[in-house]
Amino acid sequence: MTPELRTERLVLTPYVPADEDDFVGLFQDAASGQWFWDGPERRPAAEDRALFGRIFSMIYAEDRFPVWAVRHEGRFIGHAEVKPSPESWLNGHEIVYGLTANSWGHGFGTELAAALTAYGHDALHLTEVHATVNAENARSLKVLKKIGFVHTKDVREDDGSTTQLLTHRVGSDSVRV
């Protein structure tokens, strides 16, 4: 069951059906969506709507892993997960997060990534929490390094891009929530 999480400024709650348009809007936005999968230019909105439906029919229904809507002052500003990695080259759990472009630059990314990492260590008892990030996503790389993630591997993707694997280990710099 996905628990509610709270930080100083953010509330992470399980999605409700009324969040569908916000979810799809985040993934379809050119600025935010470019860092999810292949970006909105290659992913029809109908696929994001189907993905949103699977959050309820599969992820929540089968209690697979926590998935949250991220809110600030009651307003939807993002998406978050802590899940087993789908990557064949990574045996572990990773954090996944994304924020609406209009919420960038306020420290929410750092606050959110720290909360997800702490949840992975404290609630899920993970000794390592991972993040996979496109090497060109400077904002996320900066956020993760700021909270103690260490670059551990580069993976060359089929399209020629590079994904960086970053890892946070129990006992490394504290994650502050």
**Three-state secondary structure along 126-142?**
CCEEEEEEECCCHHHHH
Local confidence band at 87 (pLDDT 50, 70, 90 cut-offs): confident
> Which residues, 6+ apart, have CB-to-CB distance to 113 below 8 Å?
95, 97, 131, 140, 143, 144, 147
Cβ atoms of 105 and 97 within 8 Å: the answer is no
Q: Using DSSP, how many helices (H) and how many strands (E) does the chain show?
A: 5, 8
Sheet holding 150-156, edge to edge: 5-6, 10-13, 67-72, 75-84, 93-99, 128-134, 162-169, 150-156
Q: Name which of 79, 72, 90, 96 is nearest 144 in CA terms.
A: 96
* H helix runs in 30-134, sequence order: 30-33, 45-54, 108-122
What value does the mean pLDDT of the chain take?
A: 91
Residue 177 has pLDDT above 70, yes or no: no
Strand partners, 164: 133, 154
Q: In this model, does residue 122 exceed pLDDT 80?
A: yes
What are the pLDDT digits (tens) for 10-50?
Answer: 999 999 999 999 999 998 887 776 667 554 456 788 999 99
Please give the C-alpha separations between residue 98 and each of 37, 39, 89, 90, in angstroms, as whole numbers.
12, 12, 23, 21
C-alpha to C-alpha distance for 76 and 73, rounded to whole angstroms:
9
pLDDT of res. 173: 56
How far apart (Å, rounded) are the C-alpha atoms in residues 46 and 150? 36
Integer Cα distance of 176 and 117 in angstroms? 9
pLDDT tens-digit readout, 99-118: 999 999 999 999 999 999 99
> Is it the case that residue 158 has pLDDT exceeding 90?
no
Q: What is the pLDDT of residue 44?
A: 84
Q: What is the pLDDT of residue 85?
A: 92
The pLDDT-based confidence of 89 (bands split at 50, 70, 90) is: confident
